[in-house]
Structure 1
Amino acid sequence: MNTDAFTQYFGEIDDPRQPAKIIYPLFDVLFLTICAVIAGAEGWEDIEDFGSAHLNWFQKKGLFPEGVPVHDTIARVISRLDPVQFQQCFIRWVQSITHRTDGELIAIDGKVLRGSYDRENRQSTIHMVSAFSSANGVVMGQLKTNAKSNEITAIPALLKLLDIKGCLISIDAMGCQTNIAKTIINQGGDYLLAVKGNQELLFKAVRTALSASIAVSTNSDKINIEQGHGRTEIREYHVLPAGDLAHQFPDWKGLKTIGVAIGYRREKSGKSSLEYRYYISSAELDSIRFGKAVRGHWGIENSLHWVLDVSMKEDACPIYRENGAEVLASIRHLALNMIRSETSRKASVRRKQKMASMSCAYLDKILVAGFTVLGKK
């Protein structure tokens, strides 16, 4: 694969260095970093080592005529990039190679980068909010929360960057805010928001309205049973039209449906638990679609956050200076999207990374797939 596709989307990123002092072009360093992360690099030294081991491959693409820079140079260049500009390039790339479908579920959730704690300046870890398409396992975008804020302010900012028309946006109780609901509706999407005690009056009203439905015997289409990993899980779903609640709570723009997901779990050890999770939605949902959306939301934990920590060792990455942690987090998301777009080999993310580190031909396959078939059916 040549580098033209990368240039199209990431070639406009501003170089923070003084032109007279540039030895290694920004594009070369960025392309190296992305390829190295695809191949399993976890830090700056890994990126340098990957570049040195595959220098001939890079030079055949017209990169690094003077050789690969040392890891300190790589760290300095990547950490000084503008994360907002990089994010805009990332979202433009994703939107150009995916297509939205009516009713598509996009889950939004936050994750702490535990290795980003700045010990020298005692600055806290950074918190990233990500949007994840559950249907095809694609990260749509991500944004760092403000140091003095939380997900409540970051979620609307992220939503405004995304094309969510016709999509169902699911968010946990932290994002159950009237301004977030309005933002989603105004952009042509629908919301599915978990309701807990942070919206006390709404929570009590939804719980009361659904109590009669819960007491009635359940149809089989409302129950989902799963067994595995030494436990049995039974999930039951009930939905009702919002009815009078839409008038009682007019600040919740477009409110049409309320629902409850009842989860019963029994471990092999005999330990059991029962949980009720309540939701509101601007979409007209039946129990089947509601249950599918609730289960789909947790895909962001299992298919994104878990993979970032276990396969890509994100929490163990001790990078925190300047914008390094935020930019590298976005590059991991970019790499994960590309890895999953390559479907010629049925293998785990970690195994594909190892194959890419050993075979430049397979790395080329991942790069080509990432720009041609990502998220398409």
Structure 2
Amino acid sequence: MPAFQPLLDTIDLEDTVLTTDALHTQHAHRAYLRTRGAHYLAVVKKNHPGLYAQVRKLPWAEIPLEHRTRDKAHHRVEIRRLKVAAVRHLDYPGARQAIQVVRWRRELSTGKLTIERVYVITSLDIYDATPAQLAAWIRGHWGIENLLHHVRDRTFREDESKVRTGHLPRTMAGLRNLAVSLFRQNGEANIAAALRHTSRDYHRPLSALGLT
């Protein structure tokens, strides 16, 4: 959180679009981006109850569907439906549109169906981007989540770690990122399987690091 502005101070943000998860859906962060000439796509979750309630209670049932995709991969079928509402009343700096994404995911092996609703707000106006562009940016953000943060959460069980004091959490996060990056560079798609394979022989981690 404290590194948000210092990090972005080093980058030219004029006419860029930044996507962030709900952790950075902060008034100060959005106001800063607007003063830098940048637009944002910010996920809204229940950790911001007032804003979440405002967005969730919009008349989504009456708003027409703007974009739809259907994909089949990883033994599942996923349908994404996107609706967009122009807003001016949200208590959030520069918010011009609210977005609802409904993801339908069916596991082909079990037939299990899961439905997830995600809400996003953006400073982009209706003339600044098409629904297809908004969908692509949101999906691109999820791609980052799936390739790194999801792996850290599920495979490394980062949230269950007992390492919580001093600089150790940041050090461990860096080591997890290093492991994930090395496996990705070596063409590994399944990080959990790669970890199991590497752990069976102490020479393998050294080889992956180029030390043997």
TM-score by length of 2: 0.67
Name the residue aligned to 1:186: 35
2:137 matches 1:281: no
Q: 2: distance between equivalents of 1:167 and 1:337?
A: 26
Q: Any idea what SS the aligned residue of 2:70 has? A: strand
Name the residue aligned to 1:272: 113
Using the TM superposition, give the Cα deviation of residue 229 of structure 1 relative to its aligned residue in structure 2, in angstroms. Answer: 4.1
Classify 1:253/1:325 alpha carbon distance in 2 versus 1 (closer, same or farther; 3 Å).
closer
Q: Which amino acid aligns with 1:298?
A: W
Name the residue aligned to 2:97: 257
Using the TM superposition, give the Cα deviation of residue 235 of structure 1 relative to its aligned residue in structure 2, in angstroms. Answer: 0.7
Any unmatched runs of 5+ in structure 1?
1-153, 365-377
Q: Any idea what SS the aligned residue of 2:32 has? A: helix
| Largest Rg, 1 or 2 | 1
Name the structure with the higher strand share.
2
Q: 2: distance between equivalents of 1:180 and 1:346?
A: 36
2:141 matches 1:291: no
Name the residue aligned to 1:202: 54
Using the TM superposition, give the Cα deviation of residue 332 of structure 1 relative to its aligned residue in structure 2, in angstroms. Answer: 3.8
Preserved contact between residue 224 and residue 236 of structure 1 (Cα < 8 Å): yes
Q: 2: distance between equivalents of 1:272 and 1:255?
A: 33
Classify 1:183/1:288 alpha carbon distance in 2 versus 1 (closer, same or farther; 3 Å).
same
2:4 aligned residue (142, 159, 169): 159
Preserved contact between residue 19 and residue 138 of structure 2 (Cα < 8 Å): no
Q: 2: distance between equivalents of 1:237 and 1:167?
A: 19
Q: Any idea what SS the aligned residue of 2:146 has? A: helix
Alignment of 1:1-377 (within 5 A): 154=1, 157-163=2-8, 165=13, 166-172=16-22, 175-196=24-45, 198=49, 199=51, 202-204=54-56, 207-208=58-59, 210-214=60-64, 222-240=67-85, 242=86, 245-246=87-88, 248-249=89-90, 251-268=91-108, 269-283=110-124, 284-308=128-152, 314=158, 319-320=163-164, 322-333=166-177, 335=178, 339=182, 345-348=186-189, 350=194, 357-358=206-207, 362=210
User: What's the RMSD between the two structures over aligned residues?
Assistant: 3.6
Q: 2: distance between equivalents of 1:311 and 1:196?
A: 23
Name the structure with the higher helix share.
1
Using the TM superposition, give the Cα deviation of residue 267 of structure 1 relative to its aligned residue in structure 2, in angstroms. Answer: 3.4
Classify 1:232/1:308 alpha carbon distance in 2 versus 1 (closer, same or farther; 3 Å).
same
Q: 2: distance between equivalents of 1:188 and 1:264?
A: 35
Classify 1:239/1:330 alpha carbon distance in 2 versus 1 (closer, same or farther; 3 Å).
same
Q: Which amino acid aligns with 1:325?
A: P
Aligned residues between the structures: 192
Using the TM superposition, give the Cα deviation of residue 363 of structure 1 relative to its aligned residue in structure 2, in angstroms. Answer: 5.1
**Higher relative contact order by CA 8 Å / sep ≥ 6: 1 or 2?**
1
